[in-house]
Amino acid sequence: MSNASTTRVDEVSQYYAPAEKFGTIGVVLFWLNAVLSFMMPYSASTIGEEWSRVLQALFLVLVLIYFSISQISSLYLVPRAELMRRKQLLSDSFGIPLSQDYTSLYYNNSYSPSVQRLGANIMENALFSKEIASRMLFRKRFVIFGYLFAWLLAFSLRHNNLELLTWITQLVFSGEILAEWLKLEILRFRHERTYDELYSHFLHKLGQDSSRSIANVLNAFASYEAAKSNAGILLSTEDFQKLNPILSERWKSICQKLDMQN
């Protein structure tokens, strides 16, 4: 995935851009809804009945918009992007253009089109994915700790402010906070396992055309794609850009160490 060369091209990335935009909009709407849901119980006494009804109507509209955006993203945009990436992975691995989107230097190994090249491509993917997920988790774990601390604090004071406890519980255990963190943890673990399995595969240099070798690679391919599909999470493009130079050099070193060539 090195971008050291100016000829590196990745037309598949265009499919991820809409999903990333919808994801950003979804996060903004989630927090707007969270703020409004906290304000509504007190709105009648602070801003009056009329404005309270306006606030409730706005909340309902934003909830519907948030639901629509999240469903479009999870059911269409993200699966479409992953489908095109999967086609590109297979196209590069076997030298057959399964789509019209062009990529160059997205994968970096010296294998000719074959099952072994597919394995090397997946191993490179898994390396990058697990490291990007680890970087994302470093930040997210601190945030989760803060939310859980606030929830425990509110729970200990529940006899004084039950409304606050209810709001924080709804916030912390929503799909945008705790569930997203757990899915990212599982995604990182599964990518790490796929990487380790393929590292062992290339370390022991199984015959390229042997049934065991083909089965190992196809199992890794299925595991890698299933992990992405189950999580439904897009890894951070910003973190990829920051880690890309370091991971590209590490990947070159791994290829040399394992003598990954025809």
Measured between alpha carbons, how far is 115 from 217 in angstroms, rounded to an integer?
7
**Which secondary-structure segment (H or E) carries 81?**
helix 78-94
Strand, helix or coil at 104?
strand
Per-residue pLDDT tens for 18-59? 999 999 999 899 889 888 887 777 776 677 788 788 888 898
Q: For residues 7 and 29, give the distance between their C-alpha atoms in angstroms, rounded to a whole number.
A: 39
* Calpha distance 56→62 (Å, rounded): 10
pLDDT tens track for 65-82: 999 999 999 999 999 999
The answer to whether residues 88 and 101 touch, using CB atoms and an 8 Å cutoff, is yes
Would the CA dihedral through 241, 247, 251, 253 be positive or negative?
A: positive
* Cα dihedral sign, 95-98-104-110: negative
> How distant, in Å, are the alpha carbons of 165, 166, 172, 182 from that of 152?
9, 12, 11, 19
Query: What does the chain come to in residues?
Result: 262
- The tens digit of pLDDT for each residue in 214-255 reads 999 999 999 999 999 999 999 999 999 999 999 999 999 999
The model carries a pTM of 0.87
**Residue 153: both structure tokens together:** 């604090």
Q: Dump the DSSP string for 224-257.
A: HHHHHHHH--PPPHHHHHHHHHHHHHHHHHHHHH
Q: Give CA–CA dist 204/251, Å, rounded.
A: 18
Both tokens of 42, joined, read 């007190």
pLDDT of residue 4: 44
Residue 169 has pLDDT above 80, yes or no: no
User: What span, in angstroms and rounded, lies between the C-alpha atoms of 171 and 107?
Assistant: 40
Model confidence pLDDT, tens digit, residues 88-140: 999 999 999 999 988 888 999 999 999 999 999 999 999 999 999 999 999 99
Select from 133, 100, 149, 94 the least CA-distant residue to 224: 133
The radius of gyration of the chain from alpha carbons, rounded to an integer in Å, stands at 23
Q: Give me the mean pLDDT over the 163-169 stretch.
A: 72
User: Helix axis angle, 78-94 relative to 115-156, nearest 10°?
Assistant: 150
Q: What share of the chain is helix, strand, coil (3-state, %, to 5)?
A: 80, 0, 20
Q: How far is 81 from 177, CA to CA, in rounded Å?
A: 23
